[in-house]
Amino acid sequence: MSERILLVEDEEKLARMVELELQYEGYQVEKAFDGRTGLEKALSGGFDLVLLDIMLPALSGMEVLRRLRRESQMPVIMLTARDTVVDKVSGLDMGADDYITKPFAIEELLARIRAALRKRPAPAAEQAAGALLTAGPLAMDPERHEVAVGGKTVDLTRREFDLLRYLLENKEKVVSRESLLDHVWGFDFVGETNAVDVYIRFLRSKIDERFGFKLIHTVRGVGYVIREG
């Protein structure tokens, strides 16, 4: 199976050019033209590597990197137009695997991509790191983006999946609505503050109600908790 690369770059012509070159090399490519969309795609999983521009609308490349690193160690190569030592150092400090200065020769980019992909942990090690998250009969495989209850697959939207994942990671701990908004929706969420409650209802109908058990508990005035018992 060919490796999947996420390209986050707001200069659409450049993005298209890089996409064509990468596809020619046999990579699967998905593009995002702003930082927020890029981060969402990166977190939704399934990519082997991210090419991340620094100067991006909506969310800067540095901020995307910072948030991505909370959740994922997937290889990231920063694309920077600013050939300054500060950018390189801060990018590498924040966990970028490499950087390349624009304009770059495509051969140079391909070489960096191959090097970054080689450094990845072996699939077996990755499997161990990406262990299943479970609660009673429910099992989530974050790497494969799959959820099942007693072996039956549950289809979730990406938001539902992210919400469930955060609750599972904090199993038996009460998580506040604010914390859920912050971790699942992001710092600059604007909209109804009851979004969390709405999505909890979606999850309950797809899991608790469908399978007839109580997994997601409401702690009145505080938030939600997943309990196994």
List residues binding Ca ion (CB under 5 A). Answer: 10, 53, 55
Measured from the CB atom, the residue of 10 and 30 that comes closer to Ca ion is 10
Residue 189 CA to residue 94 CA, distance in Å, equals: 24
Q: Which helix (H) or strand (E) segment is 204 a member of?
A: helix 195-206
Measured from the CB atom, the residue of 32 and 175 that comes closer to Ca ion is 32
Measured from the CB atom, the residue of 15 and 168 that comes closer to Ca ion is 15
User: What is the nearest approach in angstroms of Ca ion to the Cβ of residue 124?
Assistant: 37
At 120, the amino acid letter reads: R
| Backbone angle region of 168, left / alpha / beta, with phi > 0 → left and psi within -120 to 50 → alpha | alpha
Measured from the CB atom, the residue of 48 and 53 that comes closer to Ca ion is 53
User: What is the nearest approach in angstroms of Ca ion to the Cβ of residue 29?
Assistant: 17
130 token code pair: 């990406």
Question: Where do the H-state alpha helices sit in 35-155?
Answer: 35-43, 61-71, 85-93, 106-118, 123-129
User: What is the nearest approach in angstroms of Ca ion to the Cβ of residue 130?
Assistant: 31
DSSP-based three-state secondary structure for 66: helix
**Residue number with the shortest CB distance to Ca ion?**
55
User: What is the nearest approach in angstroms of Ca ion to the Cβ of residue 7?
Assistant: 12
User: What is the nearest approach in angstroms of Ca ion to the Cβ of residue 8?
Assistant: 9
Q: Are 206 and 156 in contact (CB under 8 A)?
A: yes
Measured from the CB atom, the residue of 9 and 48 that comes closer to Ca ion is 9
